[in-house]
Amino acid sequence: SGDGSGAAGGGSRVCFSGVEILAPMVRASTLALRLECLRYGADLVFGEEIIDKKLIGAARVENSAFGTVDFVSPREKVLIFATSKEERSRVFFQMGTADAALATQAAMLVARDVRGIDVNMGCPKSFSVKGGMGAALLSTPEVASDILRALRRNLPESCALTCKIRMLETTAKTRDFMQLCEKSGAEAVTVHCRTRDERPAEPAHWDEIMRLWDAVKVPVICNGDFFTRRQIDEFWKFCHGAGAADGAAAGEKAGPSGIMIARGALWNPSIFCRDASVVPSFEDMVRNYVRAAVRANSTYQNCKWVLSQMLAGGVGVTAPNEFVGVPTKAFNRQLSTMKSMGAICEKLGIPHDAASFPQQAHMTTYYRGWEPLD
């Protein structure tokens, strides 16, 4: 399997062969979840989509207490993006953009702190599409191409460039669009195997990836509907049965290169454990996440939201019916009343005194929603 870090740093290419990737998810793919996914075995992690204009003007702050690099909007003191050394060689910053100049200006701010930049070309939300961003780029290929070309021209060589698209109306159109991305400088293309109008509850079209992967020479990543290890194994079997040549092991392209997981990883980040013997219990997985959230300086609001997804997202699928002795759905309701990281730790039986989390003494206060631990 691949090591997404490649030979970290330098001008080296990212290795996408056999990779399993945490998908970009607004509110979910923040630092704590990304680090947990990496610790369980994810090869690469993508941050939540951040709009170019939101990042432009942010101050870069080295937060020595937490070991993070924080990008903070100076006026409202809001944390826009935080990253750390642990993920440096494996994190992609995902950008929402409709403009090559703004995209470049924003990307240059974070380019030396991340492994790569990913352009969101798939978000169907009206907020994105009305602004010409996300899935709107699928129908304005000249703008999509401009953005990628400008980024590739300006980014340091050490910074990779990728994009994430959805399926277009026909296979031929999707292939054309993928080729445009490749020609414009994308080093890998992720295909969310749904069209712009398909909802998350509708099944992803894995069969389509077999008609797409050979449209380009660069690696193709398949996204959509990976919720368990068994499904991941089934997917690779399906690919080989459907005609992907053997040779992935030799590093040569033969079928899709890797997979990207969104909801399956939000509900259960240990989905990335390839070794069944090290899969934690659900309760340990949740506690590990909360500890990571405290250490990563997460806001309690963000931590609560991610927890609520873990608890509700998969009840009966990934989450058990009972959690720390309480019916999981009831626990999720109790969660809504908690107003600090301390309260969350307390509820889960996680020690949260200064000795357990020495960073807390140095907690920075420039974030909206910041609450002291106790």
The residues that touch ligand FNR, with contacts defined as CB under 6 A, are 23-26, 28, 48-49, 94, 120, 122-123, 164, 192, 200, 204, 223-226, 261-264
CB 191 within 8 A of CB 165: yes
345 is catalytic: no
**Residue 353 DSSP SS3:** coil
Query: How many CA atoms, within 13 angstroms, populate the side-chain half-sphere of residue 53?
Result: 6
Residue 94, φ and ψ in degrees, nearest 5: -95, 130
In order of 121, 174, 254, the CA distances from 208 in angstroms are 18, 10, 15
What per-residue string of b and e applies to 32-60 under the rule 16 or more CB within 10 Å gives b?
bbbbbbbebbbbbbbbbbbbbebbeebee
Residue 20, φ and ψ in degrees, nearest 5: -120, 125
Query: How many CA atoms, within 13 angstroms, populate the side-chain half-sphere of residue 223?
Result: 26
- Cα–Cα distance, 184 to 165 (Å, whole number): 14
- Cα–Cα distance, 361 to 65 (Å, whole number): 9
Among the options 37, 123, 159, 345, which is catalytic? 123
Query: How many CA atoms, within 13 angstroms, populate the side-chain half-sphere of residue 299?
Result: 17
Task: Specify the residue, 20 or 70, whose C-beta has the smaller distance to ligand FNR.
Answer: 20
Task: Specify the residue, 116 or 122, whose C-beta has the smaller distance to ligand FNR.
Answer: 122
Strands 326-327, 322-323: parallel, antiparallel or unpaired by DSSP?
A: antiparallel
Which residue's structure tokens are 């079928």? 255
**Which residues, 6+ apart, have CB-to-CB distance to 289 below 8 Å?**
32, 33, 36, 269, 306, 307, 310
Q: How many CB atoms lie within 10 A of CB 142?
A: 9
In order of 20, 284, 292, 323, 368, the CA distances from 320 in angstroms are 25, 12, 22, 7, 33
**Residue 12 DSSP SS3:** coil
Which residue's structure tokens are 């609001």? 301
Q: Which residues are catalytic?
A: 123
